[in-house]
Amino acid sequence: MRKSLGLIALSLAGLSISASAQQPAKPLYVLEDSYLRWRLLPEEQAYLSIDGKHLKQYVEGQTAISRRYRDHGHPQFWGRISGTEADAENAQWLLDNFRKIGLSDVHEQPLDLPPQWVPESWSVAASAGGKTVTLESAQPTSTSPGTPQGGLDLEAVDVALASEGDLAGRDLHGKAVFFYSADYTSRQAPISDYAIKRIGERGAAAIFVIVGLPGNLKTQFYPVGSTVPTFSLGLQDGNAIRDLIGKSRGGQPARVKIRLDVKNVPNLKTATVWGSLPGTSDESIFVVAHRDAWFEGATDNASGVATMLGLAEYFAKIPKEQRRRTIYFLGTSGHHDNSGMTGHWLAGHKELFARTALIINCEHTSAEQLVYRGGSIRRSNTTVPLRWYVGGSAKLEQIAVRAYDMFGVATYAQPEPAAGGEMAPYYQLAPSLQLIEGNLYWHSDRETADYVPPTGLAASTRAYAKIITDVNQLDLKDLQRPPAKQVQR
């Protein structure tokens, strides 16, 4: 008896240990100052002038623009959104910084936007058995159609993971359909193996994807190709609605009231922000970073813009006579609105790249590694490994690999076969490369400057500076893609 009681006590103690292990203990260091950093060899010390904490201030300058826009009458759909006053403020901010750094020919190239999808306001509330829950975290997927005036009042159903098996035999016609996704980092149509498409084909009147990350994150999705109002939902709200649906089973079904006012606004403008550092030849290097963002967009893409500014500062200090090629710096309009105005303009001006040694796309250059463990998201003292693309000669590939190694840029083990993101429309017009990655908070209201390690900004930016320096030792013909690789299959 005594023995078995002892065993019970022991197993209870074990339980409490595993439960408390999910909650972190008191921190022993200040995270912002303690991210892992690479120690540089004496011959690499020239790059120490690229300082991560300084670059982080550029990240904070941009996230502040987003918050100002949010706090001036745009509490639901906000960020550095193309065509809005946040876009204009952000362009002006970048022009000011380019001038402060001493770039030449600093100017704005205005671009007309196609009609822009603007979700002006929305609300989602579910009720069953006399209980009503407001789903605060609901965020319409980009380009989602709105509801009719007066909104929708629909029966709510839960289809679990929305696999073929979950959907088999279910009548979804005219219903609000909720599904749970463990595809945490997707903000795109392929989430959960195209579940949104499968549900839409079965006649749903509204679709909700519950993003299975702990907390109640608001996430902004790219267009998902749905023809009915479609939203993402945080896990807390997702659990609440699934409970409501579950408890009402067999009785009066749960219902959901949805209102989404969407406007298509014509005649808006955006811009490419240009600056340059003249070199001593007619050859060029392009450094680009997209300016637009959803929410605070600290990694996507305040980090990339900060990296571009860090490169501008570094090369502005090098005397013109020592700069072999003109470096163009471009704050591009971006692609979150699905228009990619700068990208398409550049793609249509191939002549600009006729004597270009390299295009570097600065996009998502630093993000803290977050770990989903034991039901919560844990922070860490390091950066996420970055996806990377490099397209050019074998020499260029080796220059990139060496630079990432030199400054401690963690990467995926294998590069990507093509450059996605902002550079996608034109990356094949010259030798080009990029590092790009977010973390679990990508495209969410948690993607704040707090999660952008200065060490990651320093590492990526130093590596790019070293790459530009090394590339300038080589002639164009030694950098260009071998002909066989130009054929994309």
Q: Binding string, 106-125, against Zn ion, x = CB under 5 A? A: --------------------
Q: Please identify, among the stretches 4-12, 125-133, 297-305, 442-450, the one whose residues bind Zn ion according to the rule CB under 5 A.
A: 297-305
Nearer to Zn ion, 218 or 336 (CB): 336
Shortest distance, position 301 Cβ to Zn ion, whole Å: 4
Other CB atoms closer than 10 Å to residue 24's CB: what's the count? 10
Report which of 431, 484, 409 is spatially closest to residue 38, judged by C-alpha positions.
Answer: 409
Shortest distance, position 219 Cβ to Zn ion, whole Å: 15
Other CB atoms closer than 10 Å to residue 404's CB: what's the count? 22
CA distance 117 to 80: 14
Q: Please identify, among the stretches 46-54, 193-201, 355-363, 455-463, the one whose residues bind Zn ion according to the rule CB under 5 A.
A: 355-363
Report which of 421, 356, 359, 357 is spatially closest to residue 387, judged by C-alpha positions.
Answer: 421
Q: Please identify, among the stretches 191-199, 255-263, 362-370, 402-410, the one whose residues bind Zn ion according to the rule CB under 5 A.
A: 362-370
Helix (H) or strand (E) holding 459: helix 454-471
Q: Please identify, among the stretches 228-236, 260-268, 344-352, 363-371, the one whose residues bind Zn ion according to the rule CB under 5 A.
A: 363-371
Shortest distance, position 447 Cβ to Zn ion, whole Å: 11
Nearer to Zn ion, 301 or 434 (CB): 301
Nearer to Zn ion, 233 or 436 (CB): 436
Widest CA span in the chain = 90
Q: Are 98 and 312 in contact, with CB atoms under 8 Å apart? A: yes
Shortest distance, position 332 Cβ to Zn ion, whole Å: 10
Residue number of the CB closest to Zn ion reads 300
Shortest distance, position 188 Cβ to Zn ion, whole Å: 13
Q: Please identify, among the stretches 30-38, 83-91, 292-300, 372-380, the one whose residues bind Zn ion according to the rule CB under 5 A.
A: 292-300
Q: Does residue 332 interact with Zn ion by CB under 5 A?
A: no
Shortest distance, position 275 Cβ to Zn ion, whole Å: 20
Nearer to Zn ion, 222 or 372 (CB): 222
Q: Are 63 and 294 in contact, with CB atoms under 8 Å apart? A: no
Shortest distance, position 183 Cβ to Zn ion, whole Å: 19
Q: Are 85 and 221 in contact, with CB atoms under 8 Å apart? A: no
Token pair for residue 129? 């058995």
Shortest distance, position 232 Cβ to Zn ion, whole Å: 18
Q: Please identify, among the stretches 92-100, 106-114, 301-309, 319-327, the one whose residues bind Zn ion according to the rule CB under 5 A.
A: 301-309
Token pair for residue 476? 């164009």
Shortest distance, position 9 Cβ to Zn ion, whole Å: 53
CA distance 464 to 431: 14
- Number of H-type helices and E-type strands within the chain: 12, 19
Q: Across the strands, what pairs with 487?
A: none
Q: Does residue 326 interact with Zn ion by CB under 5 A?
A: no
Q: Are 305 and 101 in contact, with CB atoms under 8 Å apart? A: no
The C-alpha angle with vertex 42 and arms to 37 and 44, in degrees rounded to 5, equals: 65
Q: Please identify, among the stretches 207-215, 241-249, 356-364, 395-403, the one whose residues bind Zn ion according to the rule CB under 5 A.
A: 356-364
Q: Does residue 292 interact with Zn ion by CB under 5 A?
A: no
Shortest distance, position 421 Cβ to Zn ion, whole Å: 6
Between the CA of residue 57 and those of 73, 102, 129, 306, what are the distances in Å? 26, 18, 51, 8
* Count of residues in contact with Zn ion, rule CB under 5 A: 3
The C-alpha angle with vertex 50 and arms to 47 and 51, in degrees rounded to 5, equals: 130
Nearer to Zn ion, 301 or 428 (CB): 301
- The amino acid present at 479, given as its one-letter code, is L
CA distance 136 to 290: 29
Q: Does residue 301 interact with Zn ion by CB under 5 A?
A: yes
Shortest distance, position 64 Cβ to Zn ion, whole Å: 19
Nearer to Zn ion, 301 or 432 (CB): 301
| Interacting residue with Zn ion among 300, 313, 437, 447 (CB under 5 A) | 300
CA distance 362 to 468: 13
What 3-state class would DSSP assign to 386?
strand
Report which of 455, 458, 456, 460 is spatially closest to residue 434, judged by C-alpha positions.
Answer: 460
What 3-state class would DSSP assign to 23?
coil
Q: Please identify, among the stretches 2-10, 81-89, 293-301, 455-463, the one whose residues bind Zn ion according to the rule CB under 5 A.
A: 293-301
Q: Which residue has the tokens 């490994």?
A: 385
Shortest distance, position 290 Cβ to Zn ion, whole Å: 6
Token pair for residue 237? 């709200």
Nearer to Zn ion, 79 or 119 (CB): 79
> What residues line the site for Zn ion (CB under 5 A)?
300-301, 363
